[in-house]
Amino acid sequence: MPHVFIILLLIMLFVVILSYVIPSGLYDRLTDESTGISVVDPDTFRYVENETPITFMNYFEAIYNGFVNGASIMGTLFISSGMIYLLEVSGAFGAGIHVILEKTKGKEFSVVCIFYTIFVVFGVLGYGEAAYPFYPLAVSIGFALGYDRIVGTGLAIVGSTVGFTSGLMNMFTTGVSQQIVGLPIFSGIGYRTAGLVVFYVIGLTGLYTYCRKIRKDPEKSIMKEEYLSRKKEDHMENMEEMTLRRALGLLAFLAVIVAQGIGCIRFGWSFPQIVAIYVILGIVLSVIFGFGPSQACQLFCQGAVRVFAAAFAVGMAQAVVVLMNQAEIMDTIVHGMGVLLQNKSALLALLIIFIFVTLFNFLVVSGSGKAVIIMPILQPLGELLHINQQVLVLTYQYGDGITNSFWPGSSLVQLAMCGVDYGSWIRFCWKIYLAFIVSAFVLVMIAYGIGYGPF
């Protein structure tokens, strides 16, 4: 497979081609006074003459503009990864993994289940990009358990996908969508919990099947060359013994994770607050482990550099959105979907919506960004077709969440954190994600059938 940057450059080129095929169009935007969310006015679409068509230079300028748009995510990755590196070089992570392995000898997959569940919880809380710094840790855990790089990558990415897609407390898709259509925030949580259980079992089954397969025959590992060479090493040789300082460091790290979860759910924290608590963590860790100010800064830089590729990929993924906005074709695509839905049966309309959101996710990764464009169009259509707004939100949420870690636009960033190429990832996950997609639409049909309502 080509490098992550090449793939993203090709997606950018694809958008440029679309800009000369799809006519430009715009909706007017309105700001909801009660929520402060700016949404489209579904009755105001018109085709327009694009006064700033994408030029040769615009294509390359979009990379810089994408970096500007993605600065909050990129900065969070650099700072949180740099601070976490202080804990890594202290040997605390290695010591913690050592303790876990000692307690679970012969039950390695139980550790996979534990960490898979932790990443599911991260997804439920809507962590998204905030969970990326923990992905390399998941890979290290997979290695320490005697599995390959794909297992650690899978437990992190599949787990996050399961939690994020379920939408139990996901402000970025469920929360925003429900606010737009006028539903109580996080209402209908019971049915979404049932969906979480379904996705959880599918993801865990996929992981178990792969773990069992490579344990029986290491040659079947998707990354077998690396796996076979690592199997010759003692996975415990780099593990440290637990000490009081290391235990205190891990407790400080755990406190930050808990604070991050509570802050995001109860106090509406975003990237500035998350970065702040990681800076505080870095100071606390420096005191615990006796790092001098200059030494701590040097270690921070070493940790931040490790995520350069992932951060760069974030900027390039944002460049795709920059080009979409310049071409003014995003509203045209959504309008076309709205026209297609007219005079369709309810179930056929739900299938079209689900497929459309899934495919649109290839170009526009942001769940909240798509919601403010798509949901105002779906709301009146749902009323005409007698589809409960809660069912529409569920359909949007599933269509957006599943492919966030399948389409290259966002998955390449996650894979860069784990050191896995896109081709290897698709070979591992395609069956799991196909099962996700099929089960998601079955859940949507059941929701419609039982009259899954607003509360």
Does residue 46 register a pLDDT over 70? Answer: yes
Instruction: Give residues with Cβ within 8 angstroms of 120, minimum separation 6.
Output: 159, 160, 162, 163, 196, 200, 203
What pLDDT, on the 0 to 100 scale, is given for residue 238? 55
Percent of the chain with pLDDT over 90: 45
Number of Cβ atoms within 10 Å of the Cβ of 28:
12
Position 220, amino acid? K
Percent of the chain with pLDDT over 70: 96
Higher pLDDT, 454 or 87: 87
Measured CA to CA, the distance from residue 24 to residue 30 in angstroms comes to 20
What pLDDT, on the 0 to 100 scale, is given for residue 231? 60
Measured CA to CA, the distance from residue 133 to residue 260 in angstroms comes to 13
- pLDDT tens track for 28-40: 988 877 667 778 8
Cβ atoms 136, 304 nearer than 8 A:
no
Cβ atoms 387, 345 nearer than 8 A:
no
Instruction: Give residues with Cβ within 8 angstroms of 118, minimum separation 6.
Output: 159
pTM score, whole prediction: 0.82
What pLDDT, on the 0 to 100 scale, is given for residue 232? 47
Q: Which of 164, 226, 224 is nearest to 195 (CA)?
A: 164
Does residue 168 register a pLDDT over 90? Answer: no
- pLDDT tens track for 226-270: 888 876 444 555 567 889 999 999 999 889 888 887 887 778 777
Looking at every residue in the chain, the average pLDDT score rounds to 88
